[in-house]
Amino acid sequence: MTDGQTSRYTGFMSTPASVTTRLGYLLKHAQVRLAELAEPLLAPHGVTGREIAVLLVLDSPSPLSQQDAASLLGIDRTTMVAMVDALEDKGFVHRRPAPTDRRRNLVELTPAGEAALRAGVAATDAAEDSLLSTLDKRQAAALRDALHRIVTGRPA
């Protein structure tokens, strides 16, 4: 961890509980902490956490359109085009017109994209393990399950 990261979390300890016990604060800072742990692990593979999410969605038995991938990720079309442009520039994806509608682009992983995805998943798994290291396996699974239920709106 860098000195900036240490001081951020040292400050957390002196921040009033009326702030640090708020769910929004905790979720935001957990996500920031995860990003800080993942970034240096992903950098050698030339990908970001957001790019790994796109590659995961595009790793499909049949090619997805940019629009379908954007919908699955909950991001707008313009953002998806920029993400696919960046991944294509890195040689991780290939885009081609859909045979049934040439206005739609289908996006497929290249062999380099498949390799980046495998390495990126391993890196993010390691970052998640580090983030959750203060929890036992049961607590970590319960946290994931609770967050999944919150995000999907599905009760236990």
What are 80-112's pLDDT values in tens digits? 999 999 999 999 999 999 888 888 889 999 999
Pick the more confident residue, 127 or 3: 127
The DSSP symbol for 96 reads: E
3-152 maps to CATH 1.10.579.10? no
Mean pLDDT of 116-137: 97
CA distances from 51 to 25, 75, 144, 146 (A): 25, 13, 21, 25
Least confident of 6-10, 114-118, 140-144: 6-10
Encoding tokens for residue 67?
């629009």
Judged against a pLDDT cut of 50, whether residue 140 lies above it is answered with: yes
d(CA 47, CA 57): 15
pLDDT score for 2: 46
Judged against a pLDDT cut of 60, whether residue 31 lies above it is answered with: yes
pLDDT score for 133: 96
How long, in residues, is the chain? 156
